[in-house]
Amino acid sequence: MRAAIYERYGPPEVVRLAEVETPAPRSDELLIKIIATTVNRTDCGHRRAHPFFFRAVTGLTRPKAQILGSELAGEVTAVGAEVTLFAPGDTLFGVTPDGMGAHAQFVCVPQGSPLATMPAGTTFEEAASVPMGMVQALTCLRSVRVQHGQRVLIYGASGSVGTASVQLAKHLGAHVTAVCNTPNLALVRSLGADEVIDYLREDFTRNGMTYDVVFDAVGKHSFRRCRRSLVRGGAYVVADLGFLWQNPFLALLTTFVGTKRVRLPFDRDADSKRDIEMLSELMSSSRYRAVIDRTYPLEAVVEATRYVETGQKSGNVVLTISHDPSQHRSKGSGSGPATHPQQEEAP
């Protein structure tokens, strides 16, 4: 099978296409023919081994698992003898249990992995684009216990986690203020945001408005900067690892000192499989929709990765996987809008 592999840590160019052995499912595994996957910031972090502690899992000097890709949508082609949840021909979407292996034509995963039946009326590209952003967003929103009627501000509302957060916060009954840049205002409004702030024109930390929750989906604002925007008893959470070293200390300190809290993006009752199944239901009933910026063929994975790392994407970047040898291309270009606004993820 064809796969995009990386044998050392480094820039996007360390990824290359190769022919590798097609995996065979074990007794409790599914063999999934992948139709679509994504390039996301987690993939980029694994490839660069950044933060450095990733190496404790991925390999100290070089990657142990050489195929990136955490999100997928595809068709079950074979199952192990003990599999009872799915059958050949089922179309599924979700994430790989170890966050690796989806940048390939096939992958084997245990039947208990975070997978669900594809929502009715959803394309493979749409289904592949939503799982990681949704799970990360939901984990953060649960950590701050978002409830009906609360005022929630989401910074970075047009990224992968941001677009998911706007929709999920509305689903939970919150009043949502979305912060993004000028070209993305219409997008976040269409996702249900009650109010929007253009960060190019207005600094939400200085406008005098306060919220029950401030959720930084891209890791650009510290608690120190955001705390004036919180009500008494309000909570701050950040999805990105940008403030990794200070937030655990602040989360402990603010439990005992002050009236505003730092929460870590952690859900002790997390069940990713249950969350993906819930996502399937929301999409089937048109209460949640995918946001895709660009779509590339697998053969253009390096180009797609470079684009993700510009920080300019809105929503998600999808890779399509061809199983027809005649369609394999050495190069490809993404499909999407002709121009791309500067996004909150950029430095």
Domains and their CATH numbers in the chain:
2-130+290-327 (3.90.180.10), 133-262 (3.40.50.720)
State residue 335's pLDDT score. 55
CB-based contact 182:200 (threshold 8 Å): yes
**pLDDT tens by residue, 64-101:** 999 999 999 999 999 999 999 999 999 999 999 999 99
Tens digit of pLDDT for each residue in 235-280?
999 987 656 668 888 989 999 999 999 999 887 777 899 999 999 9
Q: Report pTM.
A: 0.90
Give 163's DSSP letter. Answer: H
Task: Give the residue from 170, 112, 163 showing the smallest Cα distance to 134.
Answer: 163
Element (H, E) at 117: strand 115-117
Summarize pLDDT for 213-232 with one digit per residue, the tens: 999 999 889 999 999 999 99
Length reported for the chain: 347
- How would residue 325 be classed by pLDDT, with cut points 50, 70 and 90? confident
Question: Could you tell me the CA-to-CA distances from 59 to 42, 49, 65, 96, 157 in Å, in that order?
Answer: 16, 9, 8, 18, 33
What's the distance, Cα to Cα, between the start and end of the chain in Å? 37
CB-side neighbour CA atoms (13 Å) of 38? 34
Of residues 134 and 58, which shows the higher confidence score?
Answer: 134
| Cβ atoms < 10 Å from Cβ of 2 | 20
**What CA–CA distance (Å, rounded) separates 30 from 160?**
27
For 99-112, how does the pLDDT look when each residue is reduced to its tens digit (9 = 90+)?
999 999 999 999 99
Q: Once rounded to an integer, what is the mean pLDDT over residues 39-45? A: 93
Cβ neighbours around 58 below 10 Å, total: 20
CB 16 within 8 A of CB 5: yes
Task: Output the six-digit token pair for 221.
Answer: 């604002």
Fill in the DSSP letter of residue 104: B
CB-based contacts of 342, cutoff 8 Å, min separation 6: 181, 311, 312
pLDDT digits (tens, 9 = 90+) for 186-197: 999 999 999 999
Amino acid at the residue 159: G
